[in-house]
Amino acid sequence: MFSAIFYAQKGPFHALVPVLGSISVKEVLAAEANYHKLLRAYWYENNFLTFNWWFLVALSIIPAIIWWIMIEKTKLIENTAFGLFYGVTAILLDSIGSNAMVWTYQVRLSPYLNPQIYPYDVGVVIIPFMLVYQKFGCSFKKFLIASGLLSVFLAFIAEPFMVFIGIYKEFTWKHIYSFPIYWSLGLMCWAIIKKFKSYAK
């Protein structure tokens, strides 16, 4: 598999550079199959039924129950639409970051679940943003402040806590990078929903 790879030197660093067209789809699929086999073994030995695994189970259930209790049923469609816009974008970015090895998750709910930390994305990020939108979404200024405070909590309290308990691990990422992303996504989704509502008038 690696016979067609040569070394290229750039300054003091050495990097493996693949020869164009030297790797077949069959080799990629074999490597992927081996990766998933190893991942399943790791998950079963190090994740399944541990405290952190149960913590992720709780994150998958409890916030959803709280959301259903607190949500104003008359605004269910609007709030759900906001959550879907935020959620799709957040989960997409999480998948990109995980696959690019910018960060990783050492504990997973399931080895088959992608993104790796779906319970955190939904329970800690998306649902709180939906509740903030429900309470403060009628005013841009109020939503700007409330979503900013929530973004501070997520970037500088929630993420470090996930690192502390061993679920989340950063490689080249830093918590401060997350803050403007959380905030700007919230504002973007607010603007999209308000624009959609204007079409219905």
19-52 pLDDT per residue, tens:
556 888 999 999 989 999 999 999 999 999 999 9
The tally of domains found in the chain comes to 2
> Is the per-residue pLDDT at 65 higher than 80?
yes
* Distance separating alpha carbons of residues 160 and 142, to the nearest angstrom: 27
Mean pLDDT of 49-58: 96
pLDDT of residue 23: 84
Asked whether residue 30 falls in the same domain as residue 105, the answer is no
Asked whether residue 61 falls in the same domain as residue 9, the answer is no
Asked whether residue 88 falls in the same domain as residue 186, the answer is yes
Checking DSSP bridges between strand 168-170 and strand 103-105, what pairing results, if any?
A: antiparallel
Q: What is the C-alpha end-to-end distance of the chain, expressed in Å?
A: 61
Length of the chain in terms of residues written = 201
Q: Report the predicted TM-score, pTM, of the whole model to 2 decimal places.
A: 0.84
Asked whether residue 119 falls in the same domain as residue 133, the answer is yes
Segments forming the whole domain that contains residue 164: 50-200
197 burial via Cβ count (<10 Å: 0-12, 13-18, 19+): exposed
Asked whether residue 36 falls in the same domain as residue 56, the answer is no
